[in-house]
Amino acid sequence: MAQSSEAAQIPTEAGQSAFAAIQEIVALLMADPETDWAKVNVAALQAHLVDMDNLTLRATALVEPLENGARFIITSTDPRVTGSIQRMIPAHVATMDGADGWAMSAAVVNGDAVMEVTGAADAGQMIRALGFAGVMVTGVHHQQHHMAIASGQAIHGH
């Protein structure tokens, strides 16, 4: 009886989100007998998660409303965050342009990224309400992307 009580009290959360994401991918790689360990690159996944963290928590996104969407100007004075911006925004746009019926474009201008997202006439309000962070998380592709990075597949720069 004491054992089952202790087992029920074991935490399941790994603590920090990047640590948990890496832990999940490593467990999947280790469980897969087809894993090609010569190609596995968990350090590349870690670098990508640093970029995600920088973009989500340390970049500043200015919003300019467009008729059917928004223009986001993503910037930072920290060179590490600027690097993350320059890697992540063009890659995200290349992957997600056309998803959900949204047109996306990106350009790097003076170190900042300019991302435009537009959709049908009724999409503009949703895009502006989601804001930069909300637009970045649309579409369930990040998990597959992380597995591909850790497995050593060349996926848009990371």
Could you give the number of structural domains in the chain?
1
Give the C-alpha separation, 140 to 126, whole Å.
18
Query: Is residue 4's pLDDT more than 70?
Result: no
Of 59, 50, 44, 41, the C-alpha closest to 16 is 50
* pLDDT reported for residue 112: 94
Of 117, 138, 123, the C-alpha closest to 64 is 117
Give the C-alpha separation, 124 to 37, whole Å.
45
The pair phi, psi for residue 151, each rounded to 5°, is -80, -5
> pTM for this one?
0.84
Q: What is the pLDDT of residues 43-84, one digit of tens each?
A: 999 999 999 999 999 999 999 999 999 999 999 999 999 999
* pLDDT reported for residue 10: 79
Q: What is the pLDDT of residues 101-129, one digit of tens each?
A: 999 999 999 989 999 999 998 899 999 99
Are 158 and 44 in contact by the 8 Å Cβ rule? The answer is yes
- CB-based contacts of 6, cutoff 8 Å, min separation 6: none
Tell me, yes or no, whether 86 lies in a domain: yes
Structure tokens at 127: 């895009």
* pLDDT reported for residue 146: 84
Kind of pairing between the strands at 112-118 and 69-75: antiparallel
Order of strands across the sheet that contains 60-66: 60-66, 69-75, 112-118, 103-109
Query: Is residue 157's pLDDT more than 60?
Result: no
Residue 91: domain span: 17-24+38-139
Query: Is residue 141's pLDDT more than 50?
Result: yes
Tell me, yes or no, whether 145 lies in a domain: no
Tell me, yes or no, whether 125 lies in a domain: yes
* pLDDT reported for residue 86: 95
29-33 average pLDDT score = 97
Query: Is residue 142's pLDDT more than 90?
Result: no
* pLDDT reported for residue 5: 58
Tell me, yes or no, whether 119 lies in a domain: yes
Amino acid at 148: A
Tell me, yes or no, whether 76 lies in a domain: yes
Tell me, yes or no, whether 8 lies in a domain: no
Query: Is residue 158's pLDDT more than 50?
Result: no
Tell me, yes or no, whether 9 lies in a domain: no
